Amino acid sequence: MNELESYSILIEQEIASIDLPQSPSNLYDPLRYFMTLGGKRMRPILTLMGAELFGTNRAEAIHAAVAVEVFHNFTLIHDDIMDEAPLRRNQETVHVKWNQNIAILSGDVLFVKAYQLLAMQQGAHLPALLEIFNKTAIEVCEGQQMDMDFESRNDVSIPEYVEMIRLKTSVLLGCALEMGAVIANASKENRHLLYEFGQHVGIAFQIQDDILDLYADPDKFGKQVGGDVISNKKTLLNLKAMELANAEQKSQLERLSSEQDAVLKVEQTKKIYSEIGAKESCEAEMQEHYTFAMNALSQIQLPEENKKPLVALADYLMVRNS
């Protein structure tokens, strides 16, 4: 999506300018390493777009945008520890490249850096920005706890799972957009509608991520394909499969949960999911949330031309293959 390049350049410049001391090297080197692994920078781009939607120059929202990205990377470092993930964006995770204690402490510093960046926004907007940011930070932690709790439960419902991904993933997209709108002095009603747009795009995005975890091209995905299946992680794909499966298929899936051969486990699970139509069912739910998002955006009383970048970004996220 070439239209995103100008946003990305600005964000990367700001990330590169973040002041990280040289010592202690085991605290700051992991942050320099992790912050340069790249990624789509989708969340800070949304903050800039949220400001521009209401006629404010993107540069006025840059500190809030980078704060959102730094916070997001803090959560990734800690999530990778909890998930025991070996790779992030096709590179070693911080706890693998260094160790778990270093990853925890480095992540903590990144969290504080997010607040330092946010505090650089104009004083008049800061109280509202902090209120949104703090609420979101707590919700992300709640979502992560729900995700971990699901690991020991066999009765997770689809509504519970959607609520978990709303908290863990999508509220940060809504937050990113609303912070841009706050900086642009948008009305509370428009801020809410923009938040809803981001929230439902975020849920659709995470459902797409669940699908890609099993069906993506491994060379493009940047993570271990089939990792959710290997670790018996509760995902919408898994829950839909168990909901739609007949008795024999459920029995097969339950036996596969203890399969030690990872390649066989992924292949056989994928075969059963295809028989059931689990992927198609997930895609239908993803489309439903995308439609909710578009409806919220349509209610913002602004020229459609103003909304085109957000519509294009949402479309891009829904057809991604990595």
pLDDT tens-digit readout, 128-184? 999 999 999 999 999 999 999 998 998 999 999 999 999 999 999 999 999 999 999
Q: Looking at the predicted structure, is the pLDDT value of residue 194 above 80?
A: yes
Q: Are the CB atoms for 61 and 122 separated by under 8 Å?
A: no
Paired sense of beta strands 91-92 and 87-88, if any: antiparallel
Comparing 228 with 131, the larger pLDDT belongs to: 131
According to the model, what pLDDT value does residue 1 have?
A: 54
Structure confidence by residue, pLDDT tens digits, 47-69? 999 999 999 999 999 999 999 99
> Quick one: average pLDDT of 1-12?
85
Structure tokens at 214: 């099993």
According to the model, what pLDDT value does residue 123 have?
A: 85
State the sign of the Cα–Cα–Cα–Cα dihedral 298, 178, 139, 201.
positive
> End-to-end distance of the chain based on CA atoms, in angstroms?
14
According to the model, what pLDDT value does residue 223 have?
A: 62
Nearest to 306 by CA among 59, 6, 58, 52: 52
The rounded distance, in Å, linking the Cα atoms of 132 and 63 is 15
Q: Which helix (H) or strand (E) holds 160?
A: helix 158-165
- Per DSSP, helices labelled H in 184-261 are 188-215, 218-221, 227-230, 236-244, 247-256
Q: Across the chain, which distance is largest between two alpha carbons, in Å?
A: 62
Domain of 14 in residue numbering reads as 2-318
- CA-to-CA separations, 104 to 26, 67, 107, 169, in angstroms, rounded: 12, 19, 5, 20
> Quick one: average pLDDT of 86-90?
87
Return the CATH number at 16.
Answer: 1.10.600.10
Query: What pLDDT band is residue 216 in, cutting at 50, 70 and 90?
Result: confident
According to the model, what pLDDT value does residue 51 have?
A: 98
- Strand, helix or coil at 88? strand
Q: Looking at the predicted structure, is the pLDDT value of residue 17 above 70?
A: yes
Percent of the chain exceeding pLDDT 90 equals 86
Comparing 224 with 71, the larger pLDDT belongs to: 71
Strand partners, 35: none
User: 10 Å Cβ neighbour count for 253?
Assistant: 19
Q: Are the CB atoms for 293 and 201 separated by under 8 Å?
A: yes
The rounded distance, in Å, linking the Cα atoms of 317 and 322 is 10
CA angle (129, 131, 137) in 5-degree steps: 100
Q: Looking at the predicted structure, is the pLDDT value of residue 222 above 70?
A: no
Comparing 216 with 223, the larger pLDDT belongs to: 216
According to the model, what pLDDT value does residue 143 have?
A: 97
**How many domains does the chain fold into?**
1
Task: Report the mean per-residue pLDDT for the chain.
Answer: 94
- CA-to-CA separations, 112 to 70, 74, 133, 155, 189, in angstroms, rounded: 9, 9, 13, 37, 31
Structure confidence by residue, pLDDT tens digits, 204-213? 999 999 999 9
Give me the helix-helix angle, 304-318 and 42-53, nearest 10°: 170
Q: Looking at the predicted structure, is the pLDDT value of residue 43 above 70?
A: yes
